[in-house]
Chains A and B, each alone.
Chain A
């Protein structure tokens, strides 16, 4: 392997790249061009950088970057080091397709390969970290097969994955 000096320099480059990536993502939401974003957009930024935290994990991350006296805004100054660490440590990795499939199967009590619309709504709005009404409607619009009024989750997952790529 490479001598330490070169390894260090490589790491520096990697860190610099990561920081530029984070700054780019941050700036998309920096509407007033003053290196701050609305606290409600932090989740979007973090997730678009490749991480997949749960709501409670997100909450913890936010606590790290919020001001002593919460202003409703998060500064890049504080966000950057936190996010760099998260990315370097590869935390909150995305969920692999097969795990996702198993999750749906758990909810599919009758093992029939699909969930009814009502079942999905019940689970998503009553279990876990419940969806808002808007989130629920949005998911239903794409997930429900209008002919059968069911969610064929295997197909749904495939479609979403293709979409993303």
Chain B
């Protein structure tokens, strides 16, 4: 760089020095950017593979139905509990279900009180209360949900909004870390708002968000519009944490609230149409999407999109309908042999043969009633009205009819799934969304067709996290909005809403990236650990001479071949593999290092451990389903049965001893009950969620 000889030489030198520093700095930033992108890819691929898990769960249930022959009535009961809605209530009336009257509000309650019809003051009072970290009493929650349901029931499947009424419309999707701050916008109601689904399962304040949304919906029905998202689905909530949150916050009445919520979610509109020009849906569309058909279906039938139509008569008011001339008798549906589908109580099923078991599972009471009603020319009106229908249908007719009904409701189901779960893709065409396990990938041509067919100009959707919070695609005909900032981790992405407000960073680039990165790599290492056996096999394939080492390049190829995450392993390698000698990796010790990190229980069969890790989301979900009273306890037998079923489905060799070892390693001594939270926690399978975790939330993007 020379020494200072004269002024002009100094200038030249300063110039060169500056270039050097700038060159160096730009490289530093570029490397950070690369790390940021890689981290992003990790999160995305892991999340998507989690969602793929969900369809595996769905397949598991189908597998059970097709292959499993219950050998005892106990097993049958067990299965039936998994395949149908848990029914711990004897009541069939919906009113009794939400039963807010019986929930007493004690004088000691210091939270907000609501009275209906709700007024703007109530809504703002709620906001204030939540900011003070208060909780709304279950009595009011239930009443609110009841009123919300009544309101939603009046809305069509596709909600029409006009900008003649309000000049601007703001579209939000999802909320996360700083939700209450964002919700302050709601108090300044100059515009209309469309909330595009996924109100829950994001962050730890889903309950509060939902309450606020519903309250404002009731207070400002003309300005607030809600679309259903794929997380407005209790099966999804079981996995993603909303169920847990509700049960933690409402220990006594949580169950009621969850049940009621199912009835509210299914009534959420499926789409919103602005000025007949802009269509807003949560996921997307498919080549089969038919808006006219969508407008006509009975959306509330589809309580959970994941279980398809295999659900018990959701609207309990139907249960007390008259079938075959018999008068309704509380719970028990008539034991008419012409309606095998009516045998929905587990007890009744025990007398059925295997074929009838499958049939029974495939039919719902409503389908039976549907055909019943059609036969008498009765059209259903929405609402809690008591319907009566008399018919004398024979067995064969009922079978035929139910098949037809199955097909048409299958088609309707697909319409909804496509709307809530699809993602756009750059290529033309339409193909199944195997990553999410539901909905499809739709190309620009599909978008174009839909827009033209219905004379629309723009499709707005959400469902995918975008780093900058929003993204146009398909020739700017599709706009993705993602409002939940810090979705994966603090600093992982910015939130956005349609009015595209750029937000300022508060952490430096470097700080944001390293925090997020740590989180991503932790998740990735766990995934790697979960595939230890397969990885060893793959590595050995590259180590023909049994030196115990492989090249780093082979490492990358092998890892991708096992994990199928589509990640740039060579870019990620420095963070995953720390010690290499001469460009070679000792793979066994690397895998040991991963295992140590997971703090595994050595005395547990290692393949079993891997299995647990690999399937932890599904396991947790299954356990939660079995634990119908949300007590956190399941019986040892149920635990055993679950494992047996699961392992046979997954083709895993699992000895009874193996399972017993597992059970023994759990500290359970509660009369044959397993506290499965402890079990999952013991293997660090669930994150620590402390109710009192009120760590200061950093001001972050999108708030």
Residues of A with Cβ closer than 8 Å to B?
16-17, 20-21, 24-25, 27-29, 32-34, 43-48, 51-55, 94-95, 99-100, 102-104, 106-107, 123-124, 127-131, 135, 138-139, 141-142, 160, 163-164
Cβ of A99 to closest chain B Cβ, rounded Å: 7
- Cβ of B395 under 8 Å from chain A: no
With A44-B30, A127-B14 as contacts: A53 and B23 at CB distance below 8 Å? yes
CB-contact partner of B568 in A24, A103, A130, A142, under 8 A: A24
- Inter-chain contact A128/B18, CB cutoff 8 Å: yes
- Inter-chain contact A139/B25, CB cutoff 8 Å: yes
- Inter-chain contact B25/A164, CB cutoff 8 Å: no
- Cβ of B509 under 8 Å from chain A: yes
8 A Cβ contacts from B567-609 to A: 568-571
The listed residue with most B CB atoms (<10 A of its CB), out of A33, A95, A135, A138, is A138
Cβ of A43 to closest chain B Cβ, rounded Å: 6
- Cβ of B273 under 8 Å from chain A: no
CB-contact partner of B34 in A44, A102, A106, A124, under 8 A: A44
| CB neighbours of A142 from chain B (8 A) | 508, 510
Cβ of A48 to closest chain B Cβ, rounded Å: 4
- Inter-chain contact B17/A106, CB cutoff 8 Å: yes
Complex A-B, nearest 10 residue pairs according to Cβ-Cβ distance, in ascending order: A128-B18, A47-B30, A48-B34, A127-B18, A24-B568, A128-B19, A103-B17, A106-B17, A32-B426, A44-B30
- Cβ of B27 under 8 Å from chain A: yes
Q: What are 29 A-B residue pairs whose CB atoms fall within 8 Å in the complex?
A: A17-B551, A21-B570, A21-B571, A24-B570, A25-B34, A25-B571, A28-B38, A28-B41, A34-B426, A43-B26, A44-B30, A45-B34, A46-B30, A51-B27, A52-B24, A54-B23, A95-B23, A100-B20, A103-B1, A103-B17, A123-B17, A124-B18, A127-B18, A128-B20, A138-B509, A139-B25, A142-B508, A142-B510, A163-B510
- Additional 7 contacts, C-beta under 8 A, given A24-B556, A54-B22: A43-B30, A95-B20, A104-B17, A127-B18, A128-B18, A138-B509, A139-B25
- Cβ of B116 under 8 Å from chain A: no
CB-contact partner of A48 in B1, B18, B30, B41, under 8 A: B30
Contact-size category for B:
35 or more
User: In chain B, what residue has the closest Cβ to A102?
Assistant: B1
- Inter-chain contact A24/B20, CB cutoff 8 Å: no
- Cβ of B28 under 8 Å from chain A: yes
| CB neighbours of B509 from chain A (8 A) | 138, 141
- Inter-chain contact A138/B29, CB cutoff 8 Å: yes
8 A Cβ contacts from B1-49 to A: 1, 13-31, 33-34, 37-38, 41
- Inter-chain contact A54/B27, CB cutoff 8 Å: no
User: In chain B, what residue has the closest Cβ to A22?
Assistant: B570
CB-contact partner of A103 in B20, B426, B551, B570, under 8 A: B20
Inter-chain CB contacts under 8 Å: number: 126
Measured CA separation A139–B509 after assembly (Å): 10
| CB neighbours of B29 from chain A (8 A) | 135, 138
CB-contact partner of B23 in A32, A33, A52, A107, under 8 A: A52
User: In chain B, what residue has the closest Cβ to A25?
Assistant: B571
8 A Cβ contacts from B336-373 to A: none
Cβ of B544 to closest chain A Cβ, rounded Å: 15
Measured CA separation A129–B568 after assembly (Å): 31
With A24-B569, A44-B30 as contacts: A128 and B426 at CB distance below 8 Å? no
CB-contact partner of B27 in A17, A47, A106, A127, under 8 A: A47
Cβ of A109 to closest chain B Cβ, rounded Å: 8
CB-contact partner of A100 in B21, B553, B557, under 8 A: B21
With A28-B37, A29-B37, A127-B14 as contacts: A20 and B24 at CB distance below 8 Å? no
Cβ of A46 to closest chain B Cβ, rounded Å: 8
Measured CA separation A27–B41 after assembly (Å): 11
- Inter-chain contact B22/A129, CB cutoff 8 Å: yes
- Inter-chain contact B22/A128, CB cutoff 8 Å: yes
- Inter-chain contact A127/B568, CB cutoff 8 Å: no
- Inter-chain contact B568/A106, CB cutoff 8 Å: no
Do most interface residues of chain A lie in helix, strand or loop, or is the interface mixed? helix
| CB neighbours of B20 from chain A (8 A) | 95, 99-100, 103, 128
Measured CA separation A21–B551 after assembly (Å): 13
| CB neighbours of B556 from chain A (8 A) | 20, 24
- Inter-chain contact A48/B508, CB cutoff 8 Å: no
With A25-B568, A33-B426, A95-B23 as contacts: A107 and B14 at CB distance below 8 Å? yes
- Inter-chain contact B568/A27, CB cutoff 8 Å: yes
| CB neighbours of A141 from chain B (8 A) | 508-509
Measured CA separation A20–B570 after assembly (Å): 8
| CB neighbours of A94 from chain B (8 A) | 24, 27
| CB neighbours of B510 from chain A (8 A) | 142, 163
| CB neighbours of B41 from chain A (8 A) | 28
Cβ of A65 to closest chain B Cβ, rounded Å: 17
- Inter-chain contact A124/B508, CB cutoff 8 Å: no
Cβ of B22 to closest chain A Cβ, rounded Å: 5
The listed residue with most A CB atoms (<10 A of its CB), out of B15, B18, B24, B28, is B18
| CB neighbours of A104 from chain B (8 A) | 17, 21
Cβ of B285 to closest chain A Cβ, rounded Å: 19
CB-contact partner of A28 in B16, B557, B571, under 8 A: B571
With A138-B509, A141-B508, A142-B508 as contacts: A128 and B21 at CB distance below 8 Å? yes
| CB neighbours of A46 from chain B (8 A) | 30
| CB neighbours of B34 from chain A (8 A) | 25, 28, 44-45, 48
Cβ of B48 to closest chain A Cβ, rounded Å: 14
- Inter-chain contact A47/B22, CB cutoff 8 Å: no
Contact flags (1/0) for B174-208 with A, using CB distance below 8 Å?
00000000000000000000000000000000000
| CB neighbours of A128 from chain B (8 A) | 15-22
Cβ of B663 to closest chain A Cβ, rounded Å: 44
Measured CA separation A130–B426 after assembly (Å): 37
Measured CA separation A99–B17 after assembly (Å): 9
8 A Cβ contacts from B348-406 to A: none
Measured CA separation A116–B34 after assembly (Å): 30
CB-contact partner of A20 in B28, B37, B553, under 8 A: B553
- Inter-chain contact A106/B570, CB cutoff 8 Å: no
- Inter-chain contact B13/A100, CB cutoff 8 Å: no
Cβ of B38 to closest chain A Cβ, rounded Å: 6
Cβ of A120 to closest chain B Cβ, rounded Å: 9
With A25-B571, A28-B41, A138-B509 as contacts: A124 and B31 at CB distance below 8 Å? no
- Inter-chain contact A124/B33, CB cutoff 8 Å: no
Measured CA separation A20–B37 after assembly (Å): 18
8 A Cβ contacts from B519-578 to A: 551, 553, 556-557, 568-571
With A25-B34, A33-B426 as contacts: A129 and B14 at CB distance below 8 Å? no
Measured CA separation A29–B14 after assembly (Å): 35
Contact flags (1/0) for B59-93 with A, using CB distance below 8 Å?
00000000000000000000000000000000000
User: In chain B, what residue has the closest Cβ to A130?
Assistant: B22
With A43-B26, A106-B13, A163-B510 as contacts: A24 and B21 at CB distance below 8 Å? no
| CB neighbours of A48 from chain B (8 A) | 30-31, 33-34, 571
- Inter-chain contact B28/A164, CB cutoff 8 Å: yes
Measured CA separation A158–B34 after assembly (Å): 21
Cβ of B401 to closest chain A Cβ, rounded Å: 46
User: In chain B, what residue has the closest Cβ to A107?
Assistant: B17
Measured CA separation A26–B569 after assembly (Å): 12
| CB neighbours of B28 from chain A (8 A) | 160, 164
| CB neighbours of A55 from chain B (8 A) | 22-23, 26
Measured CA separation A81–B145 after assembly (Å): 62
| CB neighbours of B17 from chain A (8 A) | 102-104, 106-107, 123, 128
| CB neighbours of B25 from chain A (8 A) | 131, 135, 139
Measured CA separation A20–B31 after assembly (Å): 18
